[in-house]
Structure 1
Amino acid sequence: MSLQAYRRIQQVAESPRQTEYRLFAQVTGALIKAQETKATGGALMEALDWNRRLWSTLSTDCGSPENKLPKELRAQIISLGLWVNRYTSEVMRNKADIDALIDVNKAIMEGLAMQAQIAAQANPQPISAQV
C-alpha cells in the first residue's frame, strides 16, 4: 500500500480528536527526545518550534467564529497557547526547562484520550466498521 493511500485511509478512519491526539503524541515525542538526549541548538529548536506552531494553530482555530467548541474552552486553549509561546521563548534562552511544555501536552493528550473513550462508549461502532 502506498503512503498516500495509507494517509487517505487514516484520515477517513480517524476522528478529529484522534488526529489531534496523534499530532500531540508526535510533537510531545519530539520534545521528550530533545529532553532525553539533552539536545541543544537546531535539534532542540526544531522540537520547540514544532510545539509552538501546533499551539499557534490551535489558538488561531479557537479564535475562529466557526469553531464549535464551547466559548470558555476555546478561551482556555488560547490562553494555554499564549503561555506556550512565552514559555518556549524562555526555554530557547536557557531560562527554563522543557518539562512544563511536555507536561501540558501530556495533560491535553489525556483529555483527548478520555473524550475519545467517552465517544466510543456512547456510539459503539459495528465490528465491520472497526476493521
Structure 2
Amino acid sequence: MSLQAYSKAQRVAENPRDTEYRLFAEITRRLMDAKDLPRHAPEVINAVHRNKRLWSTLLADCSREGNALPEQTRASIISLAIWVDRHSSGVMRGVETLDDLIEVNRTIMEGLAQRPAAA
C-alpha cells in the first residue's frame, strides 16, 4: 500500500475528534520546534501561519449556523481564536512569545484526548 493510500485510509477511519487532535499535535510541534528561532525565521512564520489557519477554521466552524457544539463552548472557541490571532501578531512584532500559543494548543489537546464516559 502506498503512503498516499495509507494516509487517505487513515483520514477516512479517523473520527473528527482524532483529526482535530492530530492537527493540533502537528501544529503545536512546529511551534515548539520554532520557539527558540529568530521571529522572522521561515519556520516561525510558517508555524504561526499554520496555527492561525487552524484557529481561523475553528472560528468559522463555530460561527456557522447548525454547529452542534453547545453555545458556551462555541463562544469560548471563538474567543480563543480571536486571542490567537492577536497574540500571533504580537509574536511576529517581537512583543510576544510562542509559549502562550503552545500552552493554549496543549490545553485544547488535553480536552480532545479525554473520552466521554460510555453510556
Q: Counterparts of 1:49 and 1:77 in 2: how far apart (Å)?
A: 18
TM-score by length of 1: 0.85
Q: Counterparts of 2:87 and 2:58 in 1: how far apart (Å)?
A: 16
Are the counterparts in 1 of residues 39 and 94 from structure 2 also a CA contact under 8 Å? no
2:118 maps to 122
TM-score by length of 2: 0.93
Task: List, as ranges, runs of 4+ consecutive aligned residues in structure 1 with deviation greater than 6 Å.
Answer: none
Q: Does residue 3 of structure 2 align to residue 40 of structure 1?
A: no
Aligned-pair Cα RMSD in Å? 1.4
Q: CA deviation at 1:71?
A: 1.0
Unaligned runs of 5+ residues in structure 1 are 124-131
* AA matched with 1:38: L
Task: Between 71-80 and 38-47, report the one with greater CA deviation.
Answer: 38-47
Q: Counterparts of 1:8 and 1:49 in 2: how far apart (Å)?
A: 25
- 1:75-94 residue pairs with structure 2 within 5 A? 75-94=75-94
What SS does structure 1 have at the residue aligned with 2:8? helix
Unaligned runs of 5+ residues in structure 2 are none
Q: Percent identity?
A: 51
Q: CA deviation at 1:39?
A: 4.2
> How many aligned residue pairs are there?
118
1:129 maps to none
Q: Which has the larger radius of gyration?
A: 1
- 1:1-131 residue pairs with structure 2 within 5 A? 1-35=1-35, 37-41=36-40, 42-114=42-114, 117-118=115-116, 122=118
